A and B are shown apart, each in its own frame.
Chain A
Amino acid sequence: MSFDHLRATYFEESAELLESAYAQLSDLAEGREDGETVHALFRAIHSIKGGGGAFGFDRLVRLAHGMETLLDLLREGTLPLDAAQVALLLRGADALADLLAAERGGTAVAAGFEDALMQAFRIAAEAPAGAPRVVAAPATAAPVDLPEGWRIDFRPRPELFRNANEPLLLVRQLQRLGPVTVTADLTRLPPLERMEAEDAYLDWHFVLQAAVPRGSVEEVFEFVADDCELTISPIAAEVVAEADTPQEAAPAEIAPVAAQAVAATTPQAAAASQPAAQSMRVDVQKIDRLVNLVGEMVIGQAMLVQHAGSLPPDLCPGLTAGLETLSQHLRELQEGVMSIRTQPVKSVFSRMPRLVRELSAQLGKDVRLVVTGESTEIDKTVVEQLADPLTHLLRNALDHGIETPDQREAAGKPRQGTVHLSAAQRSGRIVIELSDDGRGIDRARVLARARERGLVAPDAVLSESEIDELIFLPSFSTAATVSAVSGRGVGMDVVRRNIQALGGRIALESRFGSGSRFLLSLPLTLAVLDGLVVSVGREAYILPIAAIVESLRPRPEDIHAVVGRGDVLSIRGAYIPLLPLHRHFAVPEAEADPSRGIVVIVETDHAGQLGLLVDDLVGQQQVVVKSLEANYGRVEGIGGATILGDGRVALILDIPGLGLGQGRVAASAPRSPATPSALQ
């Protein structure tokens, strides 16, 4: 543990706190709050401030303090909560996020960045008249001439011990300042039969022989000042006006401690045996080690099953049953371990409201973001890598999808546009949906643009979904799509590539005039992959099922040689370039005749659909993804490796990366559309 570690903890925690603050603010904005919401929000901001103070992040602390002051009034009900305040607090949270990011990255935020906001918080908080202010008393300047020592009369109130304060400790503390003479005064000591064991009866007189400031002496008695009569007088200076008036003895609150203790024991015991939902932080590496180990066990189990299968079935009847039980437990164990790595999509969804706020302000649009299913869990790595594609899609929706309020009104729509972002788990995959009620895709314009760019043959007739697919082509962007917000550089092809790199797929449904809907389908985890094992020569490769469109044994008449481009496969009127894997990977002794092998049609992003020629299909199975890079390096077209049931290594193809070495294939050939139905 080091200071850097503490800092890292602080930033990590602050990010979590901000995330929850955003969630609470959105609850407030949507009227979903309960009694706890403002308190929780206050605590979040308070914690960010507290830690920030410890690290000397002064600007951040001031801003958080401004927010806290307002929140304090809101939570006490001194101020009524309205939309303007929620908006202001949201801006505050945004600014806190920026300041945090700057501190974390060691970059500077422009001076005065938060000034207007601070002012706004002050004005908002000052609205109620006479809000109580705690004014710190100015510290009185210490006298320049220190006395030779101090005489201290300490008369504790009986309940001194209730707070676990102890005169002996005070004496020890005084002794650290200098030599102390202690006299106990027994006058208040009652007869034994009237003595309460837990009350303080002794008065003390201390003489401290040390030329220290009064403050040092007062500090010793800091915690007991309210529980005693204390007189501190300098020894040398004979005549000193006693500035310290002894505390007036407030009536002692003598609580029936013993009775309380007995009564309280039972409920506390109950509380102890029923702890709140607990969580603990675990190093991701430890989890990954578990994931790996379980992966090993799955492989080991597959090997056992394979060996057992080669035995005569009646040789050992218990073996099959035992293996079956083992397999089932292993599957459960695997799911359990994988679930540790998962995380709610909330952590990425929660960044979106800010984006929508900022963009709608920038674009002059009125947009409401409705988020559902944010507690859906998905692999941590997937969550982290979802942020970019989602941000891009959301920008697109706001920039191109949602119209301005006037346009919407003219089109007979509500002035406020709505964007829905949802996540849900469907049959072992996570489906994320982003829909808007904007203008939808103008297919005539998309098609015209695609023809212009030579992406589609002039005479080709495309279906609506085929046209929608065009926007996923590399560097496809209609003139109208270039703007300050969405920019020109990153296209939908990159979004698709990002999603595919996560083993996912993306599809689009759109209705011109009434909106668009993007569907992202993602695997629950990256550590395990549903794969198709294929053989090429003596090698076996794994094709990720997610990328496979179909597989077939082509008829010789469907294979056509295209000069300079190799073979193409004609299928239902479309031409798909063929990539013989044995040639691509230089595997000897493989089937070279497509009509005697199998063609697996896969979806790549750079080359559209591609037919991979393999010798045979071996089977479909879940494989544990292993790194090839760790000990070797990156290999083009290979995404990783796995271990098959017989213990041998098989390489996993990186389908999106496969087309790369091929160059652009058959750019003018009409493409068969990616089937959105494959998403289900």
Chain B
Amino acid sequence: MDLPMNPNAQPASFGAQAADGAGGTAGQFITCTLDAAEFGIDIMAVREIKGWTETTAIPHAPSWIRGVINLRGVIVPILDLRARFGMAATSATPMHVVVIIQIGARLAGLLVDAVSDIIDVAPGEVRPVPEMGAQAPECLLSGLVPLERGMVALVSLDALLNFGEEVLAMPATLNA
């Protein structure tokens, strides 16, 4: 990937992404791994991190929705982050980790391989995500942070949780 290294030379679209709610790009991020890739989740949105437990499947759900769990009495959907990014579904084991996030009043769990680190990111360190087409999983990212050990992709939690319409796109009903 060819990234502009001059922080002042950011394309206009980056500003819009940076302003994008709780997925704002500066601050502390929890990083988690999916295979070799490392992703950053805004720490302000993280409610808790727990081990994987079996989910209850939801009919007609997209493949990357693993189902729902009972989080102290609240029904919370679990997203398979690997599947969401277009890779194969995770074969989850008790060693896998679920990061519970909250955007607005909405709770969701993200299934990842492991949580690795907490990083501080200054606004100037965030690089824009290269355009890969609207359908690409990259539109679920809000920026990239180059670290010595490699690249951390910051997840746009707003975009990630914005699955209402997809979920509602059910087999046609006679409701109308």
Q: Which residues of A does B touch, CB under 8 Å?
A: 292, 295-296, 299, 539, 584-587, 606, 626-628, 630-638, 641, 643, 647-651, 660-661, 663
Shortest CB-to-CB span from B22 to chain A, Å, is: 15
Q: A587 to B56: give the CA distance in the assembly, Å.
A: 11
From A638, A647, A649, contact of B59 by CB (8 A): A638
Stretch in B86-94, B140-148, B167-175 with 4+ CB within 8 Å of A: B167-175
**A647: B residues at CB distance < 8 A:** 70
Shortest CB-to-CB span from A582 to chain B, Å, is: 10
Shortest CB-to-CB span from B142 to chain A, Å, is: 22
Known: A626-B73, A641-B75, A660-B175. A539 touches B56 (CB 8 A): yes
User: 9 nearest interchain CB pairs?
Assistant: A585-B59, A649-B56, A633-B167, A296-B73, A632-B77, A636-B170, A641-B75, A643-B70, A660-B173
**B170: A residues at CB distance < 8 A:** 635-636, 661
**B70–A630 CB distance below 8 A:** no
Q: A633 to B168: give the CA distance in the assembly, Å.
A: 7
Contact with A along B63-84 (1 / 0, CB 8 A): 0010111101111110000000
Q: A634 to B61: give the CA distance in the assembly, Å.
A: 11
Q: A650 to B65: give the CA distance in the assembly, Å.
A: 16
Q: A638 to B60: give the CA distance in the assembly, Å.
A: 11
Q: List 25 A-B contacts (CB under 8 A).
A: A299-B73, A539-B56, A585-B57, A606-B174, A626-B74, A626-B75, A627-B75, A628-B68, A628-B75, A631-B68, A631-B75, A631-B77, A631-B106, A631-B107, A632-B58, A632-B75, A632-B77, A633-B167, A634-B167, A636-B171, A641-B68, A641-B75, A651-B58, A660-B175, A663-B174
Shortest CB-to-CB span from A351 to chain B, Å, is: 28
Q: Which residues of B does A touch, CB under 8 Å?
A: 54-61, 65, 67-70, 72-77, 105-108, 163-164, 167-168, 170-175
Can you add 8 more A-B contacts, CB < 8 Å, to A638-B59, A648-B70? A539-B57, A626-B73, A641-B68, A648-B54, A648-B56, A649-B55, A650-B56, A651-B58
Closest to A540 in B: B56
Closest to B168 in A: A633
Known: A649-B69, A661-B171. A633 touches B60 (CB 8 A): no
**B164: A residues at CB distance < 8 A:** 633
Q: A295 to B73: give the CA distance in the assembly, Å.
A: 8
**A631–B74 CB distance below 8 A:** yes
**A650: B residues at CB distance < 8 A:** 56
Closest to B54 in A: A648
Shortest CB-to-CB span from A293 to chain B, Å, is: 8
**A649–B68 CB distance below 8 A:** yes
Shortest CB-to-CB span from A348 to chain B, Å, is: 26
Most buried by A among B56, B164, B167, B168: B56
**B171: A residues at CB distance < 8 A:** 636, 661
**B75–A584 CB distance below 8 A:** no
Q: A648 to B73: give the CA distance in the assembly, Å.
A: 10
Q: A633 to B173: give the CA distance in the assembly, Å.
A: 16
Q: A638 to B167: give the CA distance in the assembly, Å.
A: 13
Shortest CB-to-CB span from B63 to chain A, Å, is: 11
Q: A586 to B76: give the CA distance in the assembly, Å.
A: 21
Known: A296-B73, A637-B59, A641-B75. A632 touches B174 (CB 8 A): no
**A606: B residues at CB distance < 8 A:** 174
Closest to B108 in A: A631
**B175: A residues at CB distance < 8 A:** 660
**A649–B167 CB distance below 8 A:** no
Q: A49 to B58: give the CA distance in the assembly, Å.
A: 54
**B59: A residues at CB distance < 8 A:** 584-586, 635-638, 651
From A626, A635, A648, contact of B58 by CB (8 A): A635
**A649–B174 CB distance below 8 A:** no
Most buried by A among B67, B68, B173: B68
From A296, A634, A649, A660, contact of B75 by CB (8 A): A649
Q: A586 to B60: give the CA distance in the assembly, Å.
A: 8
**B57–A630 CB distance below 8 A:** no
Shortest CB-to-CB span from B102 to chain A, Å, is: 9
Q: A649 to B55: give the CA distance in the assembly, Å.
A: 8
**B167: A residues at CB distance < 8 A:** 632-635
Known: A299-B73, A648-B70. A635 touches B60 (CB 8 A): yes
Q: A207 to B158: give the CA distance in the assembly, Å.
A: 73
Shortest CB-to-CB span from B41 to chain A, Å, is: 17
Q: A650 to B54: give the CA distance in the assembly, Å.
A: 12
**B68: A residues at CB distance < 8 A:** 628, 631-632, 641, 649
From B60, B75, B106, contact of A636 by CB (8 A): B60
